Amino acid sequence: MTLYIYGAGGHGKVVFHTFISMGKTITAFLDDKSTHEQRYGLPILTPADIQSSAPYTIHFAIGNNRIRHALQTAWQQRGISAATAIHPRATCYPSTTIGTGSLLTAGSITGPDAVIGAGCILNHNSVVEHDSVIGDFCHIAQCAVISGGVRLGTQCFVGAGAVILPYLTIGNHVTIAAGATVTHDLPDNSTFPLPM
């Protein structure tokens, strides 16, 4: 089936190389502000350019959780499925569950019985340990570690190198700064640590 990558920025480049490593063929990039240029020899189209070309799938290569959620949901409501991208050098235990439209990059690790929601990003060398549940449309940045048994709500951002200690519960729409170590539960809509 025809495959598009929605987002022609830096994150889109990572998604492109992930799909190529999977042996997939990408038809084009999509971008709302397309000037009809090219990236990696592929055209950059606007969403309007493909409206009549169904069936196809799209991977939403947008780093912002809220925007990625809105786009993936809107297109799915039109009957367009979200493509999941899992790099061959990602480590996924057989009992891992991965939601539709998620991205697992090279070096990422998901432990036994981990659950990854829809539209999530597990960036390079991130770790989601055994029995953790990652809510829909979360972004786990490079080298972040989600320890065993953690519950992470929807649309959370875990910064590069951050660590969440085992069996903690993190609410929805939580932002955890790069390098932070989370030692206690965090409520919805919070930032950790608090800005100075």
Binding residues for substrate: 63
- Tokens of residue 91, six digits: 């480590």
In sequence order, the 6+-apart residues with CB closer than 8 A to the CB of 98 are 84, 86, 92, 104, 110, 116
DSSP 8-state class, residue 195: P
Sign of the dihedral through C-alpha 80, 69, 87, 31: positive
Characterize the bridge pairing of strands 42-45 and 38-39.
antiparallel
CA distance 104 to 125: 10
Amino acid letter, 195: P
Say which of 17, 130, 173, 184 is annotated catalytic: 130
- Angle (nearest 5°) at CA 142 between 20 and 168: 125
Q: Alpha carbon 58 to chain centroid distance? A: 13
CA distance 52 to 101: 22
- Catalytic site residue 11? no
Closest CA to 9 of 49, 62, 58: 62
Binding-site residue set = 63, 139
Binding-site residue set for acetyl-CoA = 139
Catalytic residues: 130
